[in-house]
Structure 1
Amino acid sequence: MTKTHRTSVRSAAAFIRTRGLVLAAAGLALSACQTGPALQSIALDQAQGSSENLSSLTAAVNANPSNPETYNVRGIAYGRSGDNDRAIKDFSTAIQLDPNFYQAYANRALVLRQMNKNVEAVADYNRALQINPKYDTAYIGRGNIYRVANRNREALADFQRAIDLNTTDPRAYHNRGLLYQLDGQHRQAIEDFSTAISMDANAPEPYSGRAVSYLALNNVDDAADDINRAILLDGKRAEFWANQGLVLEARGDKAKAYRSFAHAAQLDPNYQPAKDGVARTRGSAGS
């Protein structure tokens, strides 16, 4: 079931065939020191959240209003379009029609998390796991909430449980790697980031995370390769540019480091590691 959230769906009929479709989650944002919050976010697929597709899904709902699957997939589309209230309503209707629809609980939990309603989100993940204790997606989602709340032992237990279930979701390894990193276990973190990369080589976050751990082990060359790769995959993330600044600073190239930190601060003026980096390297700006 968990792989189906990556399926590209072109029509309402294709959506409805997949009961286990869940809201895809992007990787987690990294701070230069790996201490900042890292939130799941709905991966926007314009085709799935488009008004045309929503119209098709609404027609499917109207044609069979007692089918919970149609509400679940329309809820996913609403979530991807950013209409959280309608997404919540559809997932709730799906659950009313089928109280054992654990995927709908997990989908609703992810949207609740997007709305910073973490208590309600955890309750939904708990309910999904009561129904299906082997649902790796729910362990990963709940683990992320625990990790952001600094409940690291509980987060680690959830990520470990997903991994023990042989999850194919790279977020379990990536997020466990972040916890290892926070604990100073950088070699274990690198192993987990590498596993996440092997599962999805196009996700930038594990490259950035691995770069930080390489840098902590004074492996500056590999750190540079990884952070450059992260920026190539997504050049709009302030934390990636700040991490590049750290790598350049470690190399002694403070002028280039300043430019990276400054770019990070331009992307996110409130990003503290970028502001700190600018302050440290400002005197080298003209070098």
Structure 2
Amino acid sequence: MKFGKWVYVALISIIIASCSSGESNKGDQYYAAGNYEEAINAYNAYLVNRPKNVQALYNRGRSHEELGEYEEAERDFLAALTHDAKNTQVLLSLSNIYQKQKKHTSALLYAEYAVEVAGAPAMAYFMKGRALHQLGNTEEAYKEYSTAIKMDKNFGQAYYYRGLLKFATDRVKSGCDDMRSAIKLNFEDAQEAMERYCQ
């Protein structure tokens, strides 16, 4: 399963929260059906009179992201943050789109902002770990993955990436243990890693 896709399954299982308008509800419906251009048009109509609505800005950004329009998505996410600077959903979505674009320093920055928010979810620590991992800071990445796992024992993706990090730093036996955990949690990429490293 691709990293970005899985992140949104985990991070935004309630991705389109209901807003109080027909236009926004249409946007939500279009998004759920995969009609992202129509969703953007509906959110545009909604935001004309409610330009500070964080959820609508965020949802429009997610629609742009699904179309691969990262600049537009970034613009909407940053606009949402001007009205709710501690919104972890928005912060982590920014981190994720920067990861997709291999802008790992920016991905780390927004993951760090998310971690600093009181009550930050396990995903915030995981996303920080991913950025650190990509930047070559393996020991700090290991700590962040471990924190995410401590917070959520069912975080299959965190086990998987921590396992990959262990393989890369010659901790093969422990890495295989993480892959077994990821497999038990149905993270599908872990089976291939097991076959490659754990014979």
What's the CA shift for 1:39?
4.6
Counterpart of 1:245, as a letter, is E
Q: Which residue of 2 aligns with 1:217?
A: 169
Q: Which residue of 1 aligns with 2:152?
A: 200
- 1:116 is aligned, of 63, 68, 71, to 68
In structure 2, the CA distance between the partners of 1:82 and 1:231, relative to structure 1 (3 Å rule), is farther
Q: How does the TM-score come out when normalised to structure 1?
A: 0.59
| Comparing 110-119 and 169-178, the one that deviates more | 169-178
What's the CA shift for 1:105?
0.8
Structure with higher Rg: it is 1
Aligned length: 194
Q: Superposed, which structure 2 residues align to 1:114-263 within 5 Å?
A: 114-234=66-186, 237=188, 239-248=189-198, 253=199
Q: Which residue of 2 aligns with 1:43?
A: 9
Q: Which has the higher contact order (CA 8 A, sep 6+)?
A: 1
Q: Which residue of 2 aligns with 1:100?
A: 52
Counterpart of 1:80, as a letter, is A
| Cα displacement string for residues 230-259 of structure 1 (whole angstroms, at most 9, x for unaligned residues) | 222225x3x3233223322xxxx2xxxxxx
In structure 2, the CA distance between the partners of 1:79 and 1:40, relative to structure 1 (3 Å rule), is farther
Off by >4 Å, runs of 4+ in structure 1:
39-42
Instruction: Tell me if the contact between 1:187 and 1:213 (Cα under 8 Å) persists in the aligned partners.
Output: no
Instruction: Tell me if the contact between 2:108 and 2:132 (Cα under 8 Å) persists in the aligned partners.
Output: no
Counterpart of 1:127, as a letter, is A
Q: How does the TM-score come out when normalised to structure 2?
A: 0.82
The structure in which a higher percent of residues are helix is: 2
Counterpart of 2:159, as a letter, is Y
Q: Counterparts of 1:244 and 1:167 in 2: how far apart (Å)?
A: 34
Structure 2 unaligned residues grouped into runs of 5+: none
